[in-house]
Amino acid sequence: MTKVLVLRAPGINCDAEAAEALELAGAKAERVHVNRLAEGSIQLADYGMLLIPGGFAYGDHLGAGRMLAVDLIYRLREDLSRFVADGRPVLGICNGFQVLVKTGLLPSDKVGQATLIDNASGHYECRWIKLGLNSASPCVFTQGLSGTLDLPVGHGEGRFLTDQATLEKLQANNQIVVQYLDQAGQPTMEYPANPNGALNAIAGICNPAGNVFGLMPHPDRAFLPQHHPQWRRRGLDLEGPGMAIFRNGVRAMALV
Amino acid sequence: MSAYLVTVCPREADNHERLYLLAGDLSSEDVQRLTLELLHDPVAHTATWQALDAELAAPKAGALVEIAFRPGVTDNEAETILVGARHIGINGLKQAKTLRRVYVSDVQDEAVLRQFAGEHLLNDLIETAYSTLEARSAERLQFYQHLLQLPAPHTPTITRVALRGVSDSELERISREGILALSLAEMQAVRDYFEDLGRDPTDGELETLAQTWSEHCRHKTFRATISYQQSASDAGIDAALHPALAELNAANGATINGLLNHYLRSATNAVSNEALLSAFVDNAGIVAFDEQYEISFKVETHNHPSALEPFGGANTGVGGVVRDVLGVSAKPIAVTDVLCFGYPDLPESELSQGVLHPRRIREGVVAGVRDYGNKLGIPNVNGAVWYDHGYTANPLVFCGTLGIAPRGSHPRGVQAGDAIVVIGGRTGRDGIHGATFSSVELTHDTAETVGAAVQIGDPVTEKTVIDVLLQARDLGLYSAITDCGAGGLSSAVGEMGEETGAVVELRDVPLKYAGLQPWEIWISEAQERMVVSVPPQNVQPLLDLCHGEDVEATVIGHFTADGVLTVKHNQLTVVELDMAFLHSGGVQFKLNADWQPSPAPAAQPAAIDHNALLKATLSQPIVASNENIVRTYDHEVQAATVLKPLVGVNEDGPGDAGVLQPRVDSNRGVVLGCGLNPLYGKIDPYWMALAAVDEALRNIVAAGGDPEQTWILDNFCWGDPKLPDRLAGLVRASAGCHDAALAYRTPFISGKDSLNNEYRDAEGKRVAIPPTLLISAMALVPDVLQTISMDAKAAGNAIYLVGLTHDERGGAVSGLVGGIDNGNLPKVNLATAPSVHKAMHAAIRANSVRSCHDLSEGGLAVAAAEMAFAGGFGLSLELSAVPTSSSLSADALLWSESTTRFLVEVEPAQTANFEAQLNNIAYAKIGQVLAEPRLIINDLAGQPIIDSDLASLKAAWQA
């Protein structure tokens, strides 16, 4: 199956570019409103991959991603659980990551293990950052990738937070997929390389099976080479740095 | 009905807590579930809840303030709680209120606490607070119950205003006390109309006329006949290049038949081109992007509301101009903001009563722009911030929106019988009198008299409206569309039905709460509403589309063929007016303008330490980095921003323009720039206008935009145009716009004026803003890969200066911090400037340019410093090489703000190619890029006049 469902909901605003990136990666992307899934006129099971894009779902009132998470839990819990259990890829970008954490699909099928709160800086931040990839992670979206990745962030509530036990489990399972790096290439707590003060410099995590991936940075804003802020200085790459993630997702979807 | 209080505390130590009041048919299990599943995040917070009728548990000890929106003010989070409760199956929740509790340390006095809260924690206009040194249960309970009180039901009534036969002074009183902002002549016209009808007007009719005839909606000053005089003529003007200025120079003055037609529209008509699809008639100007798409651009101001409630004012300013672009059926793809504030270091003691401190205004305005743009998911790619003491009481907030639509997809065909459908937000009392309020000067007690004019935005509702309307456009469901902006439904329906007539039933308009009188429903400027005209067969499909995405859409009437505007509330007739009178019955103003040139200031003799002056100029807020503002705006969303606002090796240098690539499948791009300099406006608005147009074009050209594929917008912000000196400046600025548009062949496609930006303090002293003109420019570029940035790229490259330097330090920003302001305003040379722009563009298109930065505030010294520290490479420059037409001092060469100049970096292998593009253009190679991070500028004798490491220059700029 090569169809990707790009979820729309009130306040989601990165669905169009996510769909464009997926199409460039060879998928067929359909932007579907959450109400169509809830009423059953469109079935999640007909899709090979789910992408929850960025934005401010329901205004992010009551906490980023919270309301859409509640909506998904109450109206689509079984469909979503089955989708994940089937091993189909799920990608949550920025607000989508917040939604996945608050539904409990991340880190692992239980609500209330982790959260994303206000940036330590106290304000919204839009900038390009450098990510380190964990090549040992089971994440299907980063298979075969290693080294670093430049991507933009744009968020006010990206500070990943969890308890010590959960953090250790995340490390043991290689669920920490991407971390914010400093100029020396080390995971960092220093602002602005770590733009939000995330615990352990965590920028994105996956579930233990590796098919659910959420991250604060935006690969969907980095799929063309000219999206990169340094192309006028360094020359144009063949494609944007975010494309690898979408291509991996599409490849993984075809294997399920 | 039962009521509960939920308290949410962050686990990390913090002086803030969130409180929620919940009321309805709620069991304690319901409240427990709401608390656990909606209102708190167990990883980050702890939460408690209790019934509101019991003894309230005491908060932490110490002084505290609890703040909530006043009843009737939009509380978006509370609305979300109601939606969330339905999602989790709790339908008994009827009312929610959010509060924030702030603990304040080191306060022992109630009055001091109240004052602190008023100055730092809340805006009294929209919020109410309970502050105490020691919380008492009974007082708190009373406060909460007050917040939950519902407006009393009432009977809708129509009041008739006795207008027939009343005296002129009585007419003036009615206009003033009703905040109608109508002149005596206009009130007389209204009186005569109703005398002919043999009845008195209703409150709704008078309000409808006041909205429709408001300065905001009708631009009366820009349509007025103006008699212009000046005390001295401008010397040495070439009438062929400056036709409008030459006309003003006529010995016995000039008569101008409407600034809009005489200057702006006539210029556009003279230089219009094939790509221009709509200028001055739609909600936004529209040009062809390519064969398939069209681009629209509109810039608005939201000044008065931002003075009173900075966050809400700026927030709804963005929301409003986005709806303008939606009003031409376009998808919003970029926002811009240009902000003018008083100086942030103004001592509190110099602040007039009732005026918020510039720091607080800036903080609120920036947060408001950020909140709305980010939540809509529209990148903010261009803007500027200016400071002047004249903006302390009257800040300016310019908000722009760029849109894209398939060509020809915007319908403009209202038919009799089409339904009138209002889509989006509900109508409340917010924004009553916004259109007329913008036409009166602010005073120390304006906040109290027109508090309702302040609106709170709800960006998510607007986003859902955009989502459904773009689908409705593609499905061809509506026959016309307009935004519900100033004047509310009265303006929207009145304009759409101008040629047909309309009947509206106000009973059907969805309301936020009970208690609105019919006239209030009719003119409310509640946000996030659009009005569409829908052919009968499309009504149900449109309603289904909207309801399928949780967007409220309601039929409130239909268009007719009788040429009458009829508004009903059940059996009551609220309005019955001829469209012809409503739209053409106004009065054309006759105004006088008298220009008295300001004498040039005496040049101050001074020995200048140029290194110190450079740092001081870089630190001057007008020049200094805005990164702390720009970073909080999303400039990447929609994945189209291919030249960011911040550029360079560390992505923190001041980019000249934003470049967008709106379509993935085409490298065609749009470049956005702007020009504004009120320091010039204080000396002569004519030359300010030329400089602003040139600056906007320089921004465009420096980034690689095509000056021959550029369209511009005007936004005038001025003082009271009834005062002849203020109006004379406005005339000269408009004349400048005309002459510039002709010379550069850049059509104006849209514009707006915000007049009466004056403040009268408690002593009656009047302060006007400096004459302010914003020129926004939009250009096309065939390939975004041929756009460039301003940061120096590599050591060894040559640095050129393109364009002539004159001794023009009048209004120079360096003059504010220790340099010399010699009174010589930069005067654009219209004979040569267009060819300089074209040649620079040709050089960039020939791929001969590595970087390009335009010279503006701070002249050569600042431009060179910025180019160097943005790139992380030093520059070595020779003032002796700078092209001039006469010999100039080093002071002048460094600090002059002569227009039409570019600093250009060229690789050695490209210098011949570059120079070949600059035929007949003044230019010179003035230096080179250094590996060492130093800025070295040598004087005419070859001695360093500036020699500074880049780190300290950058630190000054970022301070």
Reference B621, options B341, B831, B315; nearest CA is: B341
Local structure of residue B427 (DSSP, 8 states) = B
What pLDDT was estimated at residue A252? 96
Residues 837-896 of B with CB under 8 A from A: 851
* Exposed e or buried b per residue across B489-509, where buried means at least 16 C-beta atoms within 10 angstroms of its C-beta: bbbbbbbbbbebbbbbbbeeb
Residue B943 three-state SS: coil
Which amino acid makes up residue B387? Answer: Y
Closest CA to B556 of B500, B503, B496: B503
Cβ separation B661–A226 shorter than 8 A: yes
**Which residues from chain A sit within 8 angstroms of residue B642, using beta carbons?**
224, 226-227
A58–B80 C-beta distance less than 8 A: yes
Contacts of B539 (CB under 8 A, 6+ apart): B419, B421, B555
Given a contact cutoff of 8 angstroms between Cβ atoms, the answer to whether B689 and B738 are in contact is no
Question: pLDDT digit string (tens) for A55-101?
Answer: 999 999 999 999 999 999 999 999 999 999 999 999 999 999 999 99
Residue B639 contacts residue A223 (beta carbons within 8 Å): yes
SS3 label, residue B400: strand
Those of residues 76-115 in B touching chain A at CB distance below 8 A are 76-77, 80-81, 83-84, 87-89
How far is the C-alpha of B185 from the C-alpha of B193, rounded, in Å?
Answer: 12
Round to whole Å and give the CA distance between B427 and B525: 8
Question: What does the pLDDT read at residue B448?
Answer: 45
3 state DSSP class of B343: coil
Position A116 pLDDT exceeds 90: yes
> A199 — contact with chain B (CB < 8 Å)?
no
Mean pLDDT is lowest, of A38-42, A160-164, B755-759, for B755-759
Where do the domains of chain A lie?
Answer: 3-255
Q: Which residue pairs, CB below 8 angstroms and at least 24 apart, start in A82-85?
A: A82/A45, A83/A44, A83/A45, A83/A50, A84/A109, A84/A207, A84/A209, A84/A211, A84/A212
CATH architecture of B2-148: 2-Layer Sandwich (3.30)
Closest in A112, A127, A224 to B651, CB measured: A127
Q: Give per-residue pLDDT as tens, B560-600.
A: 999 999 999 999 999 999 999 999 887 888 999 999 987 77
pLDDT at B155: 87
The CATH superfamily of B610-618+636-686+737-746+763-958 is PurM-like C-terminal domain (3.90.650.10)
CB contacts under 8 A, A 210-229 vs B, are 218, 220-224, 226-227, 229
Q: Which residues of B126-162 are buried (b: 16+ CB within 10 A; e: fewer)?
A: bbbbbbbeebeeeebbebbeebbeeeeeeebebeebe
What is the model's pLDDT at position B451?
47
Domains B2-148 and B610-618+636-686+737-746+763-958 agree in fold:
no
Q: How far is B432 from chain A (nearest CA, A)?
A: 25
Q: What are phi and psi of A206, to 5 degrees?
A: -125, 170
> To the nearest whole angstrom, how far is the Cα of A106 from the nearest Cα of chain B?
14
Most A CBs within 10 A among B22, B462, B637, hence the mutation to make, goes to B637
Please give the Cα distance from B122 to B102 (Å, whole number).
Answer: 11
Q: How far apart are CA B624 and CA B345, in angstroms?
A: 14
The response to whether B290 counts as a known ligand-binding position is no
CB-nearest partner of B784 from A11, A66, A226: A226
For A222, the closest chain B residue by CA position comes to B639
What are the extents of the domains in chain B? 2-148, 610-618+636-686+737-746+763-958
Of A121, A126, A218, which to mutate for an interface test with B (greatest number of B Cβ within 10 Å)?
Answer: A126
**H or E element: which one contains A63?**
none
CATH number of the domain located at residue range(s) A3-255 in this protein:
3.40.50.880
* Strands across the sheet containing B669-675: B641-643, B658-660, B669-675, B772-781, B710-717, B748-754
Among left, alpha and beta (phi > 0; psi -120 to 50; other), residue B497 is alpha
- Is there a contact between B639 and A17 if contact means CB atoms under 8 Å apart? yes
Least CA distance to A76: which residue of chain B? Answer: B87
Distance from CA of A119 to the nearest CA of B (A): 12
Q: In the annotation, is A94 catalytic? A: yes
- B137: its two tokens: 């249960």
Answer whether B631 sits within 8 Å of A126, measured CB to CB. Answer: yes
What pLDDT, in 10s, does the model give residues A173-205?
999 999 999 999 999 999 999 999 999 999 999
Cβ within 8 Å, pair A67-B83: yes
Question: Could you give the 3-state DSSP secondary structure of residue B532?
Answer: strand
Between CA A107 and CA B274 the distance in angstroms is: 57
Low-confidence ranges of chain B (pLDDT < 50): 447-451
* Enclosing H/E stretch for B597: none
Residue A33 falls in the annotated catalytic set: no
| pLDDT value for B151 | 73
Instruction: Using DSSP, state whether B60 is helix, strand or coil.
Output: coil
In chain A, what residues touch B784 (CB-CB under 8 Å)?
226
Residue from A14, A155, A206, A218 carrying the catalytic annotation: A218
User: What b/e string do you get for B670-695 counting C-beta neighbours within 10 Å, with b at 16 or more?
Assistant: bbbbbbbbbbbbbbbbbbbbbbbbbb
